[in-house]
Amino acid sequence: TLYQDTVEALKDLLRSLLLWNLTPHGLQEMFQ
C-alpha cells in the first residue's frame, strides 16, 4: 500500500541520517 511504502521510505531516510550523523557532533547537531 501507499502507507507501507511511505513508512519504508521514511525508515530508509532515518537510517541514512543516523549513519551520516554517527559522530557525537552530528548527533548534537541533530538534537538541537
Percentage of residues of the chain with pLDDT beyond 70: 62
Nearest by Cα to 19 from 31, 27, 7: 27
End-to-end CA distance of the chain: 34
In the prediction, which pLDDT does 9 show? 95
Q: Which three cell numbers stand for residue 22?
A: 554517527
Distances (CA, A) of 21 to 3, 11, 12, 17: 27, 15, 14, 6
Q: If you average pLDDT over every residue of the chain, what do you get?
A: 80
Q: How far apart are CA 19 and CA 23, in angstroms?
A: 9
